[in-house]
Amino acid sequence: MAKILIVSELNQSSLPKSVTIEILGKCKGHQIDVAFVGAGPSEAGSKMLAEYGAQNILVLKSDKLSSYSCEGYSAAVKEVAKSGGYHYIFTGATAAGKDYFPRLSAELQTGLASDVTNFTWEGDKFFGTRPFFAGKCLAKVEMQGSGPHLISIRPNALGMPTEKAAAAGAGKVSDTAVNVSEVKALVKSIIKAASSKVDLTEANVIVSGGRAMKNAENFKILDELADVIGATVGASRAAVDSGFAPHAMQVGQTGKTVSPSLYIACGISGSIQHLAGMRTSKVIVAVNTDPEAPIFTRADYGIVGDLFKIVPILTKEFKALLGK
Amino acid sequence: MKNIFVLVKQVPDTETKIIPKADGSYVEVTNIKWIMNPYDEFAVEQSLLIKTAFPECNVTVVRVGTVSDNECLRTAMAMGADDAILVESEGLIDSFTTAKAIKGAIEKSGRTPDLILSGKQAIDDDALQVPQLLAGLMNLPSVSVVVGFEVAGNVVKLKREVEGGSIEIYELNAPLVVACNKGLNTPRYASLPGIMKAKKKPLAQYKLSDVGVSASDTKVKYHGFQLPPEKPAGKKFDAMDDAKAGAIVKDVVGLLRNEAKVI
């Protein structure tokens, strides 16, 4: 049995982000603790963690951890990594996880397998798979040397466990004081995005627009569809380079790599670099006037048609289906 | 602001068709069009913008990689960087080894960095590790995914993009490591005189062992490269005829609910 720590983050409802539950499901049978930095989960959150097998829930506390910092988070996790004697430390490949886990790798002098999309265990040994070239190919990843080995997991890639742990963990919540020395790069202020939607990299449903959207104004028809089905709106590089959408919305090899349950591509031809960024989507719907567009080779459901006619009908039909 | 180091990597062009090697050890790299990692271009450009404001500043580009196809260091010098360091390595190496090699190379230069810039990620391994790893190894602060950059004396003001497009504002003193994102600036093209000048600019060359790296620094091993499984062909509907579009879309929405079960 390997001793595992999962460092989690909270969503807006003070529940652990779903990637934590995904990881818990895949580590079934090992001894698992879950840590939060700064603030812990709600009672419902810790109950959920226990149901999926978490033993100890550690809330790492220091006066320097009231907001995110790469140095602070790294120092905090480093301290419990050492004292807890963990073999593996997991986290989600979120904005924070991607930022501070590499620093933790330097401080612990151990390896980090980043953005892993699947893994298996052979006894206590971890065998991972991760994409290269934005998913154009996959590679196996093995950790070398002594631990604790660090692993970040792409949200939505493992999938939620189909059942809870056979024996619930203790789920015992305790505050753990950690010693964080000076933090030099500290967030001074935050400019909140206009949209409160989940980030593309964590979204379960995505509606994306390409060059055929013609202008930024037309993206409102995608927003309307997205509002009905709870989707986040993305864009192709062609749309971003044409100034229709900001880079934060770009899906593809030089944008975000996404793996939602449902990806609806509207007026996107499907260049190699775009397909690389969204190919792990579970179900892909494509709308394009060109029946030969490469996107149709990846689509589960392809609609050859004009997006300006099809998208409003999609919105109407989804509204009817979902009773909105 | 005196010494800026910029980390660059050479990667296959984004339109490259990737073919795993027969033995799965990596991917085929012959007959590939190489480019400077697109995110690194923003880092090079940012260093040159700072150099314009602080003319006494020296910009060194650093690369870990093969000796052949060393174009991107010359490109960076043609854009305006002053000199370059290449640490030779063969084949695929992990992020820890790369960061340690860069640290060794910077120390060997004899110059103390005020600023280390890089792209936020390299589009080959997509590891997003080296800048923050290097900062950790050098005990410097780092800020990643940076889309806004101002320098006032020794103080650097940065904008970092996080989930959902929100922006975190940082203000801190140099030295530090900054990993740059698209949108930070518009990288310049190398001019013809720049390209001529670049040929005469100094390029120091080291082996991994010269910069203190050994085999035991490998922390992560990659193997078994293969193409992802192909999906079976999906269903395609012709909805160019407006009269049919309504019924077809209704069918697809039904399939998403009943067959794909995603909505």
Domain that holds residue B144: 3-217
Answer yes or no: do A34 and A163 share one domain.
Answer: yes
Looking at A177, A212, A234, which one is the last position of a domain?
Answer: A177
Residue A297 inside a domain? The answer is: yes
Residue B159 inside a domain? The answer is: yes
Whether A297 sits inside 8 A of B233 (CB atoms) is yes
Answer yes or no: do A236 and A150 share one domain.
Answer: no
pLDDT on residue B247:
96
Residue A315 inside a domain? The answer is: yes
Give yes or no for A132 touching B (CB within 8 A): yes
**CATH number of residue A239's parent domain:** 3.40.50.1220
pLDDT on residue A197:
81
Whether B262 sits inside 8 A of A282 (CB atoms) is yes
Nearest to A305 among B14, B224, B239 (CB): B239
Alpha carbons A25 and B60: distance in angstroms, whole number: 47
Residue A156 inside a domain? The answer is: yes
Residue A188 inside a domain? The answer is: no
**How many domains does chain A fold into?**
2
Q: What does each C-alpha distance from B16 to A67, A247, A296, B70 come to in angstroms?
A: 41, 22, 20, 18
SS3 content of chain A, % helix, strand, coil (to 5): 30, 30, 40
pLDDT on residue B230:
82
3-state secondary structure of A143: strand
Answer yes or no: do B113 and B204 share one domain.
Answer: yes
Residue B224 inside a domain? The answer is: no
Closest residue in A to B182 (Cα–Cα): A247
Residue B191 inside a domain? The answer is: yes
pLDDT on residue B67:
85
Answer yes or no: do B12 and B46 share one domain.
Answer: yes
Answer yes or no: do B133 and B240 share one domain.
Answer: no
Answer yes or no: do B140 and B236 share one domain.
Answer: no
The residue of A18, A103, A190, A262 whose CB has the most chain B CBs within 10 angstroms, and thus the best one to mutate to test that interface, is A103
Answer yes or no: do B237 and B131 share one domain.
Answer: no
Answer yes or no: do B235 and B182 share one domain.
Answer: no
Residue B39 inside a domain? The answer is: yes
Interface pTM, i.e. ipTM: 0.94
Average pLDDT of the segment spanning A108-112: 97
pLDDT on residue B160:
97
Answer yes or no: do A165 and A234 share one domain.
Answer: no
Answer yes or no: do A173 and A56 share one domain.
Answer: yes
What band does A166 get if pLDDT is binned at 50, 70 and 90?
confident
Beta-bridge mates of residue A250: A235
Residue A182 inside a domain? The answer is: no
Closest residue in A to B251 (Cα–Cα): A317
Alpha carbons A289 and A210: distance in angstroms, whole number: 12
Answer yes or no: do A43 and A81 share one domain.
Answer: yes
Answer yes or no: do B199 and B249 share one domain.
Answer: no
Walk along chain B (263 residues) and give the pLDDT tens digit of each residue: 899 999 999 999 988 899 999 999 999 998 889 999 999 999 999 999 999 999 999 999 999 998 877 899 999 999 999 999 999 998 899 999 999 999 999 999 999 999 999 999 999 999 999 999 999 999 999 999 999 999 998 999 999 999 877 899 999 999 999 999 999 999 999 999 999 999 999 999 999 999 999 999 999 999 999 999 888 889 999 999 999 999 999 999 999 999 999 98
Q: Which A residues 290-319 touch B at CB under 8 Å?
A: 291, 296-306, 309-310, 313-314, 317-318
Answer yes or no: do B138 and B193 share one domain.
Answer: yes
Contact A232, A321 (CB under 8 A): no
Q: What does each C-alpha distance from B118 to B41, B62, B63, B196, B231 come to in angstroms?
A: 9, 10, 11, 25, 36
Q: Measuring CA to CA, which residue among B168, B159, B164, B160 is closest to residue A190?
A: B168
Question: How far does the CA of residue B129 sit from the closest CA of chain A (Å)?
Answer: 5
Answer yes or no: do B243 and B160 share one domain.
Answer: no
Residue A192 inside a domain? The answer is: no
Whether B226 sits inside 8 A of A137 (CB atoms) is yes
| pLDDT digit string, tens, across residues A284-299 | 999 999 999 999 999 9
The residue of A137, A162, A204, A324 whose CB has the most chain B CBs within 10 angstroms, and thus the best one to mutate to test that interface, is A137
Residue A288 inside a domain? The answer is: yes
Residue B209 inside a domain? The answer is: yes
Residue B222 inside a domain? The answer is: no
The residue of A89, A100, A110, A136 whose CB has the most chain B CBs within 10 angstroms, and thus the best one to mutate to test that interface, is A136
Give yes or no for A9 touching B (CB within 8 A): no
**How many domains does chain B fold into?**
2
pLDDT on residue A243:
96
Domain that holds residue A173: 3-177
Answer yes or no: do B184 and B211 share one domain.
Answer: yes
pLDDT on residue A143:
98
| pLDDT digit string, tens, across residues A188-203 | 999 988 777 888 998 9
Residue A115 inside a domain? The answer is: yes
Task: Fill in the amino acid letter for A248.
Answer: A
Residues 6+ apart with CB under 8 A from B156: B115, B149, B150, B170, B171, B172, B173, B174, B176, B178
Question: How far does the CA of residue A189 sit from the closest CA of chain B (Å)?
Answer: 5
Answer yes or no: do A15 and A65 share one domain.
Answer: yes
**CATH number of residue B141's parent domain:** 3.40.50.620
Beta-bridge mates of residue A57: A34, A173
Nearest to B27 among A110, A137, A282 (CB): A137
Alpha carbons A233 and B165: distance in angstroms, whole number: 12
Residue B146 inside a domain? The answer is: yes
**Alpha helices, H only, chain A:** 18-26, 43-51, 70-84, 95-108, 219-229, 237-241, 272-278, 295-298, 307-322
CB pairs under 8 A between A and B: 284
Question: How far does the CA of residue A105 sit from the closest CA of chain B (Å)?
Answer: 7
Answer yes or no: do A8 and A157 share one domain.
Answer: yes
